Structure 1
Amino acid sequence: MIQKNLEKVMDYRYLKIFSLLSLSFIVVVITISIRLDLFGAIKVKTEEEHVSSNAKKEIAKIFYQDKAQKIDSIMQISTKQYYFNGNVLVAYKGNCIYNESFGYADMSRRTKLEKDDIFQLASVSKQFTAMAVMILKEKNLLNYDDSVTKFIPEFPYPRITIRMLLNHTSGLPNYYWLVEHHWHEKKSPVNEDIIKMLAAHKLNLYFTPGRRWNYSNTGYVVLASIVERITEKDFADFVHENIFEPLKMNNSFVYSSSSVSIKKDHLTGYYYRGRRYRMIPETVNDGAVGDKGVYSTTEDLFKWDQALYHNKLVSSETFNEAISTFKLRDKYEIPYGFGFRIRERNDKKIAYHHGKWNGFRTSLLRYVEDTNTVIVLNHTSSSLNYSIIREIQQVLDDSTHVDITQKVVSSILDDGIEFAVKYYFDQTNGKNIKLDTVKISEASQILYDTNNPANAEKLILFKKMYLNGELDTNFMNDITFLKAVSIK
């Protein structure tokens, strides 16, 4: 009897414990569910919450239009007052915000420049030569520290390596001098002719290879020849097949004045004299390529720029070396990579290059961390590129409150208000950085217009929290916040 009573007591105790545990479990589940409903479920988009890509593009334009207008003002003044003649493309945060043409393609016929007009890139071509070498390096067909003589046995300077050609520490003499004094044929010399002249005349190097830095067009002609020797292909064909074609740079090509296989339409360079523009004919040095010779458009160069950010041609590790400085043996740092000059602006890296050849002035700047890009191409011997770029840079740099506002809006739409508030806290960190509430309102209106009232309401409620000073550490208990996260 006693035993049975004990068993009943034990059964009751177990039942009570089990009931308490079950109740606790239910409470925990409900609590988690509520938390998920508040902070997690908002990340799972329903059909009503889905924001179309077109709506997102329209919202993005809101944050760029002020910059585009300022850039256009710069260009209108540069055109009307200083007669800039060329094409300009500017990208901000990876988005093309400005792409315009100014002036004439043909000065005598007064033919208007178009966005697909093709410019000689001059020394901006060097980055494409460097990329061709990087591609071969990743295919294990060469190493940067290989001697040039491994691929061109007749090359008379055995101590010069591929790396020295890439970063301008070879000390090679200028091939223009060789052409001027030792070339006597009517046609322009091509790369192989330059190699033959270097081998035949064995000019003294400017310095011991690797000891100093000296910008060298000859080095990049030799690099193009190495590509040809390794691949047994014309340099133009290799670049087309391995760079232009994969990136759909359909208006880009390598052109030599000695080539009979490539005769494509491209612009002619001009210089201003006697109150009028005069055409600059091709010169004897237009036969060699690698140091120059790439022809392209602003839009194709933007494709190139974006491909570099997404590692479409080589790995990030390989390309990062191309946009990094290096040190000479005396530890002096040289702001040049492989086909790119390197400098910092506001503590952020810019990889860039300018070009100058036969009336063409070309510039390509890449803000590596911010994914901003400036491309300026002109064909009238004008040095306006540099002042235009400086002014555009000022517009791009004036961006803190706009950037944060845009990212807050994107975070609300993609991740939810909790994450947007956290991002705002992380960015401000005690700083007095204001949000552009007008742009938040404009973004919400676009969402209303594209049948996205739920997301529009979230933006409006976030703006209300910001204006009411409710974005503090206690925001999760705020009535406006709770209302925003409850929107489905």
Structure 2
Amino acid sequence: MKLISSFTIFLLLCSAFFLQFPTEANAQSLDAKIDSLLESTFTPDGPGAVFLVAIAGKPIYRKAFGLANLELKVPMNPENVFEIGSMTKQFTAVSILMLMEQGKLQLDDEITKFIPDYPTRGKSITVHHLLTHTSGIKSFTSMKSLRAIEKQDLTPTELIDFFKNEEMDFDPGEEYKYNNSAYVILGYIIEVVSGDTYADFVEKNIFQKLEMNSSQYASHSQVIPNRAYGYHQKGEYANKNYISLSLPYSSGSLMSTVDDMLKWNEAIKNNLLLKPETTAKVFDNYTLNNGDKIQYGYGWNIKSLEGSPNYEHGGSIFGFKSMGVYLPEEDIYAIGLSNCDCNSPTVLTRDIAKMAMEK
């Protein structure tokens, strides 16, 4: 009997081991697949990137590739800080919605409520139109004259003055056209309504509240711990071009890390900054005047990946590219930050999210 009992215990232990082993093996297999994908893009002696994948808010993959600084041959590490470009728009949109919840503005407010002299040409341009890229206002980044001011430090009103007299591309609500001017105006509205600068509002109401301690409005002069430097590739690698960070402003001037961006995604998912009914507005797939869907909410693209809902947004600014993907049904978040605008993480981040779905 003792022999049978001991043998039975042995079998149970073996069963427990082999039941656990496939899970560990799958995790190792996923790591190996992601490593192989990223190592084929980011070489050890070139600009690099950091990627993170989380399921249910818990990182399952977090690695750095390549170099954070080519001149000094400093390896990239997962704590590196990147300019995130247009992923800034998520923070701008949520800031507007926070002020809406405070009763300080409404989504159907016309922009002339905040900028009385804005030339709307008799059209009704609302905060909602700005958030959804359906305002028809000319995007200043498409203007050839931008080169004349790209190195100048402008106030938000000076930047708005730069583009406000341009002809509109279409009537409000008639079309969807990605628009940096719209998000500049939203940043200025935040300043008018809150009494803070855009940078201070985001710092106090988002970064500090969520303990996103490595995130901030970008700066060329400030010494920023763990900053990754940005590059272009024109045959050989070159240092990024200089542009005044007053120009991307609330459409693209924030910096962050993969860890802080995971905190951000968790905060939105768990309604830490907005009421659930307001968060639902963020991820609504809005329509044009004719009823056509635009595949955009407030600061996020509303798409699908392998048949599952997908909320995503990328960013591009001199020397940097970024991409974040969130699959709400699977609760998978994937984020990629790159320090060369020659290496877009967009497709890679989607592919990594697909791999995590398979897991």
TM-score (normalised: structure 1): 0.64
The equivalent position to 2:282 in structure 1, one of 312, 322, 344, is 322
8 Å contact from structure 1 (residues 106, 112) kept in 2: yes
Instruction: Give the CA deviation at 1:242.
Output: 0.5
* Deviations 1:343-389 (CA, angstroms, capped at 9, x unpaired): 11243211001111112110010111211011111011224423422
Give the aligned partner of residue 88 of structure 1.
51
1:278 aligns with 2:278: no
Give the aligned partner of residue 406 of structure 1.
none
Distance 1:197 1:380, change over 3 A: closer
* Deviations 1:110-131 (CA, angstroms, capped at 9, x unpaired): 0111222110101111101101
CA distance in 2, matches of 1:394, 1:96: 15
1:337 aligns with 2:297: yes
How much is the aligned-residue C-alpha RMSD, in angstroms? 2.7
Give the aligned partner of residue 247 of structure 1.
210
Give the aligned partner of residue 158 of structure 2.
193
CA distance in 2, matches of 1:90, 1:282: 32
Give the aligned partner of residue 405 of structure 1.
none
* Deviations 1:133-155 (CA, angstroms, capped at 9, x unpaired): 01101111111110011112122
8 Å contact from structure 2 (residues 245, 253) kept in 1: no
Give the aligned partner of residue 39 of structure 2.
76
Distance 1:302 1:285, change over 3 A: closer
Give the aligned partner of residue 62 of structure 2.
99
Give the aligned residue type for 2:191. Answer: E
Distance 1:131 1:226, change over 3 A: same
1:208 aligns with 2:150: no
Distance 1:69 1:84, change over 3 A: farther
Unaligned runs of 5+ in 2: 1-20
Give the aligned partner of residue 127 of structure 2.
162
Highest Rg: 1 or 2? Answer: 1
Give the aligned partner of residue 16 of structure 1.
none
Distance 1:177 1:326, change over 3 A: closer
**Count of matched residue pairs:** 336
The aligned runs of 1:37-436 (5 Å cut-off) are 64-80=27-43, 85-157=48-120, 159-176=124-141, 180=145, 187-199=152-164, 202-255=165-218, 264-265=224-225, 266-274=227-235, 276-284=236-244, 286-399=246-359
* Deviations 1:59-100 (CA, angstroms, capped at 9, x unpaired): 987764442333223223333499671111111233200111
Task: Quote the sequence identity (%).
Answer: 28
Give the aligned partner of residue 403 of structure 1.
none
Instruction: Give the CA deviation at 1:286.
Output: 4.8
CA distance in 2, matches of 1:126, 1:135: 14
Instruction: Give the CA deviation at 1:243.
Output: 0.4
CA distance in 2, matches of 1:179, 1:234: 28
Distance 1:256 1:195, change over 3 A: farther
User: Which structure carries more relative contact order (alpha carbon 8 Å, separation 6+)?
Assistant: 2
Distance 1:370 1:196, change over 3 A: same
8 Å contact from structure 2 (residues 159, 247) kept in 1: no
TM-score (normalised: structure 2): 0.86
Instruction: Judging by fraction of residues, say which structure has more helix.
Output: 1
Q: Secondary structure at the match of 2:201?
A: helix
8 Å contact from structure 2 (residues 47, 67) kept in 1: no
Give the aligned residue type for 1:268. Answer: Y
CA distance in 1, matches of 2:232, 2:63: 22
Distance 1:294 1:179, change over 3 A: farther
* Deviations 1:221-252 (CA, angstroms, capped at 9, x unpaired): 10000000111111000000000001100000
Unaligned runs of 5+ in 1: 1-57, 400-488
8 Å contact from structure 1 (residues 170, 219) kept in 2: yes
